[in-house]
């Protein structure tokens, strides 16, 4: 049962344009959401997060939007740079529950930013 889904396996974007990565979840107990970035031969690196009490969080070129009613979140990267090319994972957690550190990950989206 895939509780966190990233339906787009890959996304290709031109440098300078906006990249939008999408994520859907099914578990209504999730109340904290994160995006991780992963380069080949490296572990996932934390990018940005959002609590369910917010609908937007911004950090530099990265913005995460949360639509609780639709159980959907998205990561916007503006402007996209070739160095952003990586696999992006959406993750969710029930921060208010007992599984504090357990993250449920999506399958990942491969982002390619062309110069």
Contacts with another protein by CB under 8 A lie at 32, 34, 36, 41-46, 49-51, 89, 91, 93, 95, 98-108
Closest CB 16 distance from another protein, rounded Å: 29
Closest CB 95 distance from another protein, rounded Å: 4
Q: Of 15 and 107, which has the nearer Cβ to another protein? A: 107
Q: What's the Cα-to-Cα distance from 36 to each of 98, 107, 108, 115, rounded to whole Å?
A: 22, 12, 9, 23
Closest CB 18 distance from another protein, rounded Å: 24
Tally helices (H) and strands (E) across the chain. Answer: 0, 11
Q: Of 69 and 98, which has the nearer Cβ to another protein? A: 98
Q: What's the Cα-to-Cα distance from 47 to each of 61, 63, 77, 98, rounded to whole Å?
A: 11, 10, 11, 24
């Amino acid at each position: 049962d895939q509780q966190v889904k990233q339906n787009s396996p890959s996304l290709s974007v031109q440098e300078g344009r906006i990249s939008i990565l999408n994520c859907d979840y099914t578990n209504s107990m999730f109340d904290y959401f994160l995006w991780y970035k992963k380069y080949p031969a490296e572990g996932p690196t934390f990018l940005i997060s959002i609590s369910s009490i917010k609908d937007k969080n911004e950090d530099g070129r990265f913005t995460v939007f949360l639509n609780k009613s639709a159980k959907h979140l998205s990561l916007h990267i503006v402007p996209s740079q070739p160095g952003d090319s990586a696999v992006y994972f959406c993750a969710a957690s029930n921060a208010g529950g007992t599984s504090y550190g357990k993250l449920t990950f999506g399958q990942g989206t491969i982002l390619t930013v062309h110069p």
